[in-house]
Homo-oligomer: A and B are copies of this chain.
């Protein structure tokens, strides 16, 4: 923090809700002290946290920044923002087959707003408690709303799932019905605030338990942030320029989230919708499909992604991933 750069607007805003002493340390104490796992030797409050890593395990680390109006709507409830920003990071741990352990939070806020902070931390810790992940440090600065989370998980040596490793003949599986994330976003942008797709969009459920169950089973794994086709393409490229054939008949019917959409729309959502944060993985032939998961097709040696349509004809699909920058 550059002291000589601070101006009066940088001091805490003394409103009826916010005591004048509510500096960064007080904010952290009030909203971000929460129960922690046994591996946390020292949590927030010093220059850094001290952690005891699980003996004999490798660590898995990810970091993602979420910006208002870019990664989430700025009028989203703070509970959902807190839940969602952590979910995105836990989903990356899940994609590696890691057990969630610790996270650090860098929160950039335009102003001190106690209601917002209380809601944000409630949503954040709701998911943190479910996943057994402990907040161990971070900082709060003043600026345009942004949430940067770094998360760490553990995995037995050599058992982390990667994007590489898929082989021709492997089945392509997803951890649930995809498309709800994009449909929820479309509905949100149309002014809708309730319904199963909105719920899916507000509160994506990262699949860390599925990821851990896939250790030693899945030949490759990724979480679906860009859409099935784009993320499948990441697996294909990382596994050595392989190809894939998706079976249109295998796309699951969804009586809930996608209900009300035409068949064409459902197919487009399921194959191209992003922000689902379900796992996409490849399974060698003899292994059973885990409960709740669907097989969409197979890895093939021939490069490119193809769709076997209901009438049996096969056509090439164009992969258009989202540009991340």
- Asked whether any CB of chain B lies closer than 8 Å to the CB of A82, the reply is no
- Asked whether any CB of chain B lies closer than 8 Å to the CB of A303, the reply is no
- Asked whether any CB of chain B lies closer than 8 Å to the CB of A315, the reply is no
Cα A137 to Cα B92 with chains together (Å): 12
Contacts of A67 in B (CB 8 A): 108, 141, 143
- Asked whether any CB of chain B lies closer than 8 Å to the CB of A170, the reply is no
Contact A3 B227 (CB under 8 A): yes
Smallest CB separation, A164 vs chain B (Å): 8
The oligomer's copy count stands at 2
CB-CB under 8 A for A143 and B2, given A61-B137, A63-B138, A93-B48: no
Cα A158 to Cα B238 with chains together (Å): 41
Smallest CB separation, A232 vs chain B (Å): 14
CB-based nearest B residue for A10: B323
Contact B160 A50 (CB under 8 A): yes
CB-CB under 8 A for A143 and B144, given A23-B325, A48-B62, A185-B5: yes
Contact B24 A325 (CB under 8 A): yes
Smallest CB separation, A107 vs chain B (Å): 8
Contact B63 A137 (CB under 8 A): yes
- Chain A contact patch, size range: 35 or more
Contact B46 A325 (CB under 8 A): no
- Asked whether any CB of chain B lies closer than 8 Å to the CB of A222, the reply is yes
Cα A155 to Cα B12 with chains together (Å): 36
Contacts of A6 in B (CB 8 A): 322-323
Within 8 A of B (CB), among A205-240: 221-223, 225-227, 238
Contact B182 A3 (CB under 8 A): yes
- Asked whether any CB of chain B lies closer than 8 Å to the CB of A4, the reply is yes
Cα A58 to Cα B53 with chains together (Å): 7
Contact A141 B69 (CB under 8 A): no
Contacts of A155 in B (CB 8 A): 50
Contacts of A139 in B (CB 8 A): 63-65, 324
Contact B104 A70 (CB under 8 A): no
Contact B96 A325 (CB under 8 A): no
26 CB contacts below 8 A, A to B, read: A1-B226, A1-B322, A2-B70, A3-B185, A3-B275, A4-B189, A5-B189, A6-B322, A12-B325, A24-B324, A25-B324, A48-B61, A48-B96, A61-B137, A61-B152, A62-B104, A63-B106, A63-B150, A65-B148, A67-B108, A70-B141, A70-B142, A104-B150, A140-B325, A143-B146, A150-B150
